[in-house]
A and B are shown apart, each in its own frame.
Chain A
Amino acid sequence: RKEVEQDPGPFNVPEGATVAFNCTYSNSASQSFFWYRQDCRKEPKLLMSVYSSGNEDGRFTAQLNRASQYISLLIRDSKLSDSATYLCVVNMPPGNTPLVFGKGTRLSVIA
Chain B
Amino acid sequence: DGGITQSPKYLFRKEGQNVTLSCEQNLNHDAMYWYRQDPGQGLRLIYYSQIVNDFQKGDIAEGYSVSREKKESFPLTVTSAQKNPTAFYLCASSWDSHMNTEAFFGQGTRLTVV
A residues within 8 Å of B by Cβ? Answer: 31-32, 34, 41-46, 49, 87, 89, 91, 96-99, 101-104
> Which of B50, B106, B108, B110 contacts A96, CB < 8 Å?
B50
Q: B41 contacts A96, CB within 8 Å?
A: no
Q: A43 contacts B99, CB within 8 Å?
A: no
Bound complex: CA A89 to CA B101 (Å): 11
Bound complex: CA A43 to CA B93 (Å): 13
Write the nearest CB–CB distance from B99 to chain A, whole angstroms. 5
Q: Which residues of the partner chain B approach A102 to less than 8 Å between Cβ atoms?
A: 42
Main secondary structure of the interface of A (DSSP, over half): loop
Q: Which residues of the partner chain B approach A87 to less than 8 Å between Cβ atoms?
A: 42-43
Write the nearest CB–CB distance from A106 to chain B, whole angstroms. 9
Q: B90 contacts A43, CB within 8 Å?
A: yes
- Assess whether B74 is interfacial by the CB under 8 Å rule: no
Q: B106 contacts A46, CB within 8 Å?
A: no
Interface size on B, residues (CB 8 A): 26
Q: B41 contacts A103, CB within 8 Å?
A: yes
- Assess whether B84 is interfacial by the CB under 8 Å rule: no
Q: B42 contacts A101, CB within 8 Å?
A: yes
Q: A98 contacts B33, CB within 8 Å?
A: yes
> Which of A46, A89, A96, A103 contacts B104, CB < 8 Å?
A46
Ranked nearest first, the 8 interchain pairs of A and B with the lowest CB-CB distance are A103-B42, A43-B105, A32-B100, A101-B43, A96-B98, A46-B102, A91-B100, A98-B48
The closest CB in chain A to the CB of B48 belongs to A98
Bound complex: CA A34 to CA B100 (Å): 10
Q: B45 contacts A98, CB within 8 Å?
A: yes
Bound complex: CA A41 to CA B109 (Å): 10
Bound complex: CA A26 to CA B22 (Å): 34
- Assess whether B19 is interfacial by the CB under 8 Å rule: no
